[in-house]
A = this chain, B = another copy of it.
Amino acid sequence: MSELKMIAMGGLGNVTQNMYLYEYEDEILLVDCGIGFPDRYMPGVDVLIPDIGYLLNRVEQGKKIVGMILTHGHDDHIAALPYVLPDLPVFPLFGSPLTASFAQNRMKDGGIEREVEVVSSSEVFKISEYFSAEAVTMTHSVPDTRHYAIHTPEGIIYHGSDFKIDLSPVDGVKADMAHIEQIASQGVLCMMIDSLRVERLDWSKSESIVGPVLLKEMTDVGGMIIVTLMSSHIHRIQQTIDAAVKLGRKVAFVGRSVEANVQAALPLHKLHIPNDTVIDKREISNFKPHQLCIIIAGSQGQEGSSLMRAIYGDHPVIQIRPQDKVLFSADVIPGNELNFYGAIDELCRNGINVVYPDISPDLHQSGHASAAEQRDLLKRVNPKYVMPIGGSDRHRVKFVDFVAEPLGYSAEQVLIPENGAILSFENGLPSVKDVIPLRPRAVDGLGIGDVGPVVLSDRRVLGQSGMIVLVIPRVHGHLDTRNITVVSRGFVFMKEADEVIGFIKEQTATVISELGDKPREEEVKRAIEKRLSRRLYKIIRREPMIVPVILEM
């Protein structure tokens, strides 16, 4: 008997790094392919990508990838494409117009040329023998966001990726509730649903309320206006442009990501800009500051971003002066407080007027549904089973209390499988038959996956306490303890550390003398590491990495 399998390959309980696999008979359908962001336990890592180990195994066993659906154009749903696709056979990619354009840009950045088939929301499209799908127009913080009803032999899966229910969206394109009800009327087996903002109980505010706040904050400014925002937030960019036009200001886009996204949105008519509004950033110096509105990348205060270079006086075309005003039309991403508020503090120190959501709350609105909206959508789709996704484990668990239970769902109907679980539907019944070990796959520079647990744990030790390298010469099989060389970095300031170095040499010599004649190399190293770690901790409460090197002469 056949079953429908479902696996979250970026892990469940992860907000980012989205990639889902649906498997039926010999067919595999993928949804999204996003990056994740390393925390401080993964130092030096640039991004994380989904672990496709299971997928590679299945392909080797003869399974066929029939396609990949992309739900929307955010990096945590599309930006792993250039890392993941080269390892896989070729298959079609599907997405809405703007999602396709953003995804193609991301792939191009990574040196990959692949088309994304643009799918319409008005009809079911057949993907393979067992899978077909239909795109549902949905509201979120990037235009052209879609949910997908995936038709499988086991029934319909409603893949409800990131969304909010914006009742007055900036572009007038509302969530297509009629379409959802038509899908629901066929009976939905299981619904996946974005649970990230389940802790917020009230219906979230519409994105369109940000426009008047932007206009108000941009009025009566003597100098230049600089607005920073998430570069994919086309609706926010539109509202900023609208306010600038009302105030008679020219608009310039600064920052690679903002410029690229605007270029992608314009031909698709996702942005509407009156003639003679936009100027090239190289023309900025031809205008007076009060004639300008700059839309700039770097809303998280990222090091090296256009905004940070402008703040530190390091940008070729933007100088920020005391008459200017800077608007942060973005919230801080949790964990990123140091950069975000660091940028604001620096502007304040320089006497620049800066406004940010803490003091002007409606300068930003989230793109994610609150518990109230999640309930609304769940009620409409009315699936037999529901599985919260897109949040941390606490969000998945609180989804039960705040969304599912109030609508009468029993504990058995809410699926919260553990990380790596293979969830199967067979005869309409869900079960977890196996759990695969999902490992975080780290991208560091040009290396993918070569930074594993050992390297990361070494980096943590090195970064916390530094290292001490001991080079011990071995002459005719005898360790020469009178000629030990000690090199240290990040431990104590070496020029003031003669005493410590002397102590380390002395301890090393003692350990070696205690080991007797011709000990094995591994034995010597272990003994030195153990003794020095313990003694150094005792005298200075630090645990540097100790690296003994035995050098054969």
Contact = CB atoms under 8 A, between A and B. Distances in A.
Given A40-B40, A549-B485, A459 B490 contact: yes
Interface string A320-350: 0000000000000011011001001111110
Interface stretch (A126-134, A229-237, A441-449): A441-449
Interface in A397-440: 397-398, 402, 418
A337 B334 contact: yes
Which 7 A-B pairs give the minimum distances between C-beta atoms? A463-B463, A445-B541, A462-B462, A458-B490, A459-B490, A348-B397, A44-B464
30 contacts: A44-B463, A44-B464, A44-B466, A44-B490, A199-B359, A334-B341, A341-B392, A348-B397, A349-B393, A349-B418, A359-B398, A359-B402, A444-B542, A445-B537, A446-B539, A446-B541, A447-B542, A450-B496, A450-B497, A451-B492, A455-B491, A456-B490, A459-B463, A459-B490, A462-B462, A462-B466, A487-B547, A489-B545, A551-B551, A553-B553
A39 interface: yes
Contacts of A547: 469, 487, 489
A125 to B, nearest CB: 37
A117 interface: no
A188 to B, nearest CB: 26
B445 A462 contact: no
Contact of A485 (B40, B359, B445, B551): B551
A348 B469 contact: no
Interface string A519-553: 00000000000000000010111100101010101
Contacts of A471: 471, 549, 551
B462 A489 contact: yes
A284 to B, nearest CB: 26
In this complex, the interface size class of chain A, counting residues with CB under 8 Å from chain B, is 35 or more
A334 B489 CA distance: 30
A405 to B, nearest CB: 13
A493 B487 CA distance: 22
B466 A455 contact: yes
A160 interface: no
A77 B134 CA distance: 61
A392 to B, nearest CB: 5
A307 to B, nearest CB: 16
A393 B334 CA distance: 21
A215 to B, nearest CB: 20
A452 interface: yes
Contact of A44 (B397, B398, B418, B465): B465
Interface in A462-481: 462-467, 469, 471, 473
A354 interface: yes
Chain A at the B interface: mostly helix, strand, loop or mixed?
A: mixed
Contacts of A223: none
A358 interface: yes
Contacts of A485: 549, 551
Nearest to A418: B349
Given A469-B549, A491-B455, A338 B338 contact: no
A463 B43 contact: yes
A459 B513 CA distance: 32
Interface of A: 13, 39-41, 43-44, 199, 334-335, 337-338, 341, 344-349, 354, 358-359, 392-394, 396-398, 402, 418, 444-447, 450-452, 454-456, 458-460, 462-467, 469, 471, 473, 485, 487, 489-493, 496-497, 537, 539-542, 545, 547, 549, 551, 553
A473 B549 CA distance: 13
Contacts of A459: 462-466, 490
Given A458-B490, A485-B549, A446 B540 contact: yes
Given A446-B539, A469-B547, 5 more contacts: A341-B394, A345-B393, A447-B541, A459-B462, A460-B463
Nearest to A495: B454
B455 A469 contact: no
A465 B490 CA distance: 13
Given A398-B359, A487-B469, A541-B446, A493 B454 contact: yes
A465 to B, nearest CB: 5
A509 to B, nearest CB: 17
A493 B452 contact: yes
A458 B397 CA distance: 42
